[in-house]
A and B are shown apart, each in its own frame.
Chain A
Amino acid sequence: MNQRIAITGLGIISAIGNNQSDTLRSLLESQSGIGEMQFLDSIHHEFPVGEVKLSDAELKKLCQIDDESIIGRTTLLGILAVREALKEAQIEQVEKHKIGLISGTTVGGMEKSEQFYLDFLQNDLHNEYINIHDCGACTEGIVEHTGNFCFCTTISTACSSAANALIMGANMLKAGYLDIVVVGGAECLSKFHLNGFNTLMILDKTPCKPFDQNRSGITLGEGAGYLVLETEEHAAKRNVKPICFVSGYGNACDAYHQTASSPDGKGALLAMQKALKMSGLKPQEIDYINAHGTGTQNNDLSEGIAVQQLFTPVPPISSTKSLTGHTTSAAGGVEIILSILAMKNQFLPQNLNYQDKIEELNFEPIKSNMLNHPIQHFLKNSFGFGGNNSSIIISNNI
């Protein structure tokens, strides 16, 4: 039996587009979606953000959901992306398959809870929003509006959540628990985590500058990215052509600090080594790295040191967070899909806002889109607070 894990559908929404085709256009034009906040109700307008350019009401309309329904922004983003992915994978009726949904999120319904928090304490006007506060309720909300999945669960490992959803989904396919699995993550902006990142003093007042010597922090973003996975054999049986394949993945713990990366990038290095080992590929066979690249002093140096240890020379590398902002729990899904779009269109996406090389590192990120540049295999890094580091390798369908 061919156990290769095929990717047969993609769905994405972020600051640079509400679907795959809009996203590809922005990516090709290096059109950033980062700007002044329009939808998040925060006093902190000094921080630019990567917002999805739709209000909740507009998102509901796009989802064809009644404007009165009690539903959070994370769930709405998830519904749109899951639907797009299912459509591309030609799955019209979810209940006809042994199919699961594994979704990463950490903010969950927080943005509604903070909006109504004082009401919750003082009156009963908005208590229905309490029921959709938790992360699991978001996944269940997505299921409610996308189809009758036979299995669903939620992964919450901060910014590596979506990548870990992919790992868990691939493991469940290999173990034979599911025939098809939709994996990824969704996250909307909230005051809660904007304030939280701000207290850690790691937000940039200008659009983030990953891998730049003078980088000064994260630009937060929001979005959702989901992939449909199934074995190559199962895709063939359904007559669905794989877009590409998951050829390796690894997760490791950095075991250094709750929120900071270790100076030697040990967790990152271990995760990349595990992914390479599973794929059977040599480091020189990786054509592109889509970095975690948050734009903080700490991450980019630590990740860069880990990459340098494994790759000589370092392959073309970029952080597309410079276009979308850091979509936190959704980032793994969003950025794997951005990289797949680049791979299918044979170009390497630019790392925006880069000027000067980080002194301690021996490489520079991709300074402008490199067109006519085939990618056979790329590696995606996704690192989360708690030292939870994941790397995924995707291979083209040739």
Chain B
Amino acid sequence: MRNVQGAITIRNHQVILQGEILFQRDQSMPNVQFFSELYRELKLAYPKFFKMDPLAKLGFLAAELLLSPLSAEDKEEMKIFLACSHSSIESDTMFQNTISDESDYYPSPSLFVYTLPNIVIGEIAIRHKIYGENSLQLTSPLNFNSIIKTLHKQIKWEENRYALIGYLDYYNDKYEAEFYLIHS
């Protein structure tokens, strides 16, 4: 891929930024605890993080590390194109559990907010004040490298200077994020 200025992967409790291991924890650690420890390691003061669902936490952390060197101007018109496979199924299930049983019926607005997969893009955009084009594509997990390439091609002829593209997924205690910062 051309014009790649930064790359990050977060999987198996290991954060690799620009090819180097930045942070890791034992794989027996629960995912959400791993996300919290990474948040604390980064010394972020953004308490809204703790209200996010796991998918949004994952995307938020990956974007945080990749975008922190950029200025506000760099980020303002940035595009965000992400793909995922299992959408917001984790939050969907939690919300469904609140409405399935008539004797224990308590639909939760804070859970419902995260039953949309593109909320992760919204969280990244709110954090970094990114007003550019954004889209979330749902796709098979089998071949996400080609999806990232397709996303890359989709931005090639756009006039903006920066784009954040990548794949993330959270399902059944398995998670994965692979983000790239593109500069044209």
A-side residues, CB < 8 A to B, are 106, 110, 113-114, 117-118, 134-136, 153-158, 164, 167-168, 171-172, 174-175, 191-193, 195-201, 250-259, 266-267, 270, 274, 384-388
Residue of B nearest to A114 (CB): B96
Complex CA distance for A201 and B95, rounded to whole angstroms: 16
B86, B117, B121, B140: which contacts A253 (Cβ < 8 A)? B121
A175, A254, A267: which contacts B153 (Cβ < 8 A)? A175
Residue of A nearest to B121 (CB): A386
The smallest beta-carbon distance between A169 and chain B, in angstroms, is 11
With a cutoff of 8 Å between Cβ atoms, the chain B residues found around residue A254 in the complex are 125, 131
Whether A155 touches B122, Cβ cut-off 8 Å, given contacts A168-B154, A253-B130, is no
B-side residues, CB < 8 A to A, are 80, 86-87, 89, 92, 95-96, 99-101, 107-109, 112-119, 121-123, 125-126, 128-140, 153-154, 156-157
Most buried by B among A153, A156, A198, A201: A156
The smallest beta-carbon distance between B133 and chain A, in angstroms, is 4
A-B residue pairs, 6 tightest by C-beta: A386-B122, A196-B112, A199-B109, A255-B125, A386-B118, A253-B125
Whether A175 touches B157, Cβ cut-off 8 Å, given contacts A196-B115, A385-B118, A386-B119, is yes
With a cutoff of 8 Å between Cβ atoms, the chain B residues found around residue A198 in the complex are 107
The smallest beta-carbon distance between B63 and chain A, in angstroms, is 13
Decide: A110 and B134 in contact? CB cutoff 8 A.
Answer: no
The smallest beta-carbon distance between B60 and chain A, in angstroms, is 12
The smallest beta-carbon distance between A196 and chain B, in angstroms, is 4
Residue of B nearest to A134 (CB): B87
Decide: B116 and A255 in contact? CB cutoff 8 A.
Answer: no
With a cutoff of 8 Å between Cβ atoms, the chain A residues found around residue B122 in the complex are 253, 255, 257-258, 385-388
With a cutoff of 8 Å between Cβ atoms, the chain B residues found around residue A172 in the complex are 154
Not counting A199-B112, A267-B131, A385-B116, a sample of 12 additional A-B residue pairs whose C-beta atoms are within 8 angstroms of each other reads A134-B138, A154-B137, A158-B116, A168-B135, A196-B95, A196-B109, A198-B107, A199-B109, A252-B133, A386-B116, A386-B121, A387-B126
Whether A155 touches B129, Cβ cut-off 8 Å, given contacts A117-B100, A175-B153, A195-B99, is no
The smallest beta-carbon distance between B137 and chain A, in angstroms, is 6
Complex CA distance for A195 and B80, rounded to whole angstroms: 30
With a cutoff of 8 Å between Cβ atoms, the chain A residues found around residue B130 in the complex are 253, 255
With a cutoff of 8 Å between Cβ atoms, the chain A residues found around residue B108 in the complex are 199
Whether A136 touches B154, Cβ cut-off 8 Å, given contacts A253-B80, A267-B131, is no
Whether A154 touches B138, Cβ cut-off 8 Å, given contacts A118-B100, A198-B107, A251-B133, is yes
Whether A153 touches B139, Cβ cut-off 8 Å, given contacts A255-B126, A384-B118, A387-B125, is yes
With a cutoff of 8 Å between Cβ atoms, the chain A residues found around residue B133 in the complex are 250-253, 274
Q: List 18 A-B contacts (CB under 8 A).
A: A106-B116, A117-B100, A134-B138, A136-B138, A154-B138, A156-B116, A191-B99, A195-B99, A197-B112, A199-B107, A200-B112, A253-B133, A255-B125, A255-B128, A258-B113, A267-B131, A386-B122, A388-B134
Complex CA distance for A59 and B126, rounded to whole angstroms: 41
Residue of A nearest to B126 (CB): A255
The smallest beta-carbon distance between B146 and chain A, in angstroms, is 12
